[in-house]
Chains A and B, each alone.
Chain A
Amino acid sequence: MSTKIIVTDNYLWTNEHNNVKKQVLHRYQISNNTATQWKDGLKGIQEMIADVRSRSERLRSYGGKWSLSDVAICNDSIHDSKPLTYYGPVGKKSIIGKPLYKDAKPLEKRLFYFQSGAQINQINRALEDRGNCLATTGASNGQTIAGAISTGTHGSALKIGAMQDYVRALHIVTSENEHIIVQPATNPIINKGFSDIFGAKLINDDKLYLSTLVSFGSFGVIHGIILETVSLYMLETYSSRVDYKLVEQVFPYLSTFDHTSSTNLTKFLKQIGLPSEEDPYHLDIIANPYGAANNAFLRVMFKRAYDKSKLSPEPDGSSTRVGDDILSIIGSLAETTDLVVSPIVNTLFGSVAEVQSGYTQTPRNIFGDSIIYKPKKGSASTELGVPIAKASDAVKLTMKIAKKANFAGLIGIRFVKNSAATLAFTRFPPLTCTIELPGLNSSNTQNFYQQVFNGMDNKGIPFTLHWGQQGDFSPVRLASMYGSAVETWVQARKVILPDPIQRYMFTNDFLKRCGISESASLSGGAEIV
């Protein structure tokens, strides 16, 4: 075995939010050799797969441990992808596709290959040094690129989509002898010469590509990802505390959102008293279910061309930022608050990011660090995706149930352009409204989540669930969330992983609960007399 592989036996794995713990048999950490760039990392993954296969174990690759469910973990062998940190620009001679985004820079200056372990904060910094950045990210920066994409991580950039939507190709190691670069047949991005450099098989196929995008490590070990980035920009941010009744007036404008227009929300912004010349790049709301007045925190951000002289001072890391992850705010709740939930949540809501007007920074500093509090019982969060036309009803219902259920948390509401990925939870056009419910991990919180799901069912509001958060991922729920897309994904997995042993290897308990794992189906026989 390569000397760059470290195996830790009987490893206790805990996620960042301290609510998932697993005792696993082996943890693999594979590093590159700087001299050979990515080669040792790729070879190491293949050696690891051979090793795991020889013991007939399952294998799961994980990244920043950011997910609140066991989606990224299995009981047997796990792979810490974080040491795989090579990246490089994709050469002009290898590029055959057209860009996704209009940009002043040509595509060859914006297309990068990142190994799977690159963390968002590392990518942000590396890209910023080159005058580029990611088109959108989540609110925090602790995920790895592969982990973020594989679970459908999103921000609230209205016309961009989720993070998987700027992926142009995925490089996946499917067995000890084979690795593939999969890209769409429609507007593929790289030629065979590029995949030959890695020794990978090139697959151009829309269905396979869209299925692999959000697949939580089920198609093999992701070695690298080709991303289309954009020229570095700044976000000019405005935020204000207003009554939810006022904020909810945004929903009708969002319901008819036209991605080609730049004035979808200008009337609404004018009503609120915010700059209203054009649509914001980003808009999100944090709602407090317990407050009667000023119970919503509205944040809008406008995209501006990068101009160093117009940057506001960088945040110092200790203050609450305008782009803060809501879960990090919730984490500051003490653990003994069950009896006094409403005053505590009201107080907490008061400490949500300061009201700002015109604070301008690059996305790296707007969506920066989140302090992860680790309450003993862990944090909890679920996130629903609902069609924008039903969003107003869905939020109202959630707020009502939250109050009744004494939910110790806030409600985060964001808006994401629909994604074409087969199992993207942001699948509703033209915008998916995401309703995030971060709170403390307790039976009360879990009961509240179930009540929300039941409430949506009773009201006939269709919804999906964020793969990296908690929720009902039963086969019945999956069928109601994704319909025939589930079968499309399962079939795509069989094409990418034709050997049942491969599919077994990349299966975990989460997949089994979803009913999309590789397990023998019951075969009915003749009547037994």
Chain B
Amino acid sequence: MIVKIQRKNQVLWIVLIMYCIAFAGCSSVHVTANQASKADDTYEKTVWALWWGASDPVESVDCNGNGLQFVTMKTNWIYSLCTFVTLGAVVPVDIEYRCTSEPLHGGDIIGEIRGVKP
């Protein structure tokens, strides 16, 4: 009886661990600019933070003078395992970002001077 309960607990633990590992891939952080217009392209890349902060990645983004619409940082169970195994010396992170589009350019009144009768 006791053995059966222990086996049942083991199975539960395994299921729980598998569940946690599977859902680790869902971990992400979104930073979005409020009511910002979007450019067309989204960029994705993996960056590596190394040696406990001694070599953190610095990403330079060319948005033609416009800002960023959003930045997302994602991790998954492989990255988490990598961080765990290297005792935090290697921290991979997937980043995704998009620029804002050109702002609206308001012009003069159209047809105020040149307007003619139909």
Contact = CB atoms under 8 A, between A and B. Distances in A.
Interface of A: 27, 29, 31-32, 34, 37-38, 64-65, 80, 82-83, 85-94, 96, 113, 117-119, 121-126, 141-142, 190-194, 196-197, 317, 334, 336, 364, 368-369, 371
A141 B109 CA distance: 26
27 contacts: A31-B102, A37-B107, A64-B38, A80-B40, A82-B38, A85-B102, A86-B105, A88-B109, A88-B110, A89-B110, A93-B112, A93-B115, A94-B111, A117-B101, A122-B104, A126-B106, A141-B35, A191-B117, A193-B115, A193-B117, A194-B110, A196-B114, A197-B111, A197-B114, A317-B32, A317-B34, A334-B23
Interface string B81-118: 00000000000000000000111111111111111111
Contacts of B113: 91, 93
A37 B105 contact: yes
A334 B106 contact: no
Given A121-B35, A191-B117, A194-B115, A90 B109 contact: yes
Contacts of A118: 104
Main SS at interface, chain B: loop
Contact of B110 (A32, A124, A197): A197
B116 A119 contact: no
Contact of A190 (B23, B36, B40, B111): B111
A369 B103 contact: no
B105 A87 contact: yes
A369 B105 CA distance: 21
A83 B66 CA distance: 12
Closest 10 CB pairs of A and B: A93-B115, A91-B112, A94-B111, A193-B116, A88-B107, A91-B111, A94-B115, A193-B115, A191-B118, A194-B111
B106 to A, nearest CB: 6
Interface residues of B, number: 30
B112 A94 contact: yes
B106 A88 contact: yes
Given A92-B112, A191-B117, A317-B32, A34 B38 contact: no
Given A82-B40, A364-B35, A192 B112 contact: no
Contacts of B115: 91-94, 191, 193-194
Contacts of A122: 37, 101, 103-104
Contacts of A141: 35
A88 B109 CA distance: 6
A311 to B, nearest CB: 16
Contacts of B40: 27, 29, 65, 80, 82
Q: Which of B39, B108, B109, B115 has the most CB of A within 10 A?
A: B115
Interface string B32-53: 1011111110000000000000
Contact of A32 (B32, B39, B105): B105
Q: Which of A29, A37, A122 has the most CB of B within 10 A?
A: A122
A80 B30 CA distance: 25
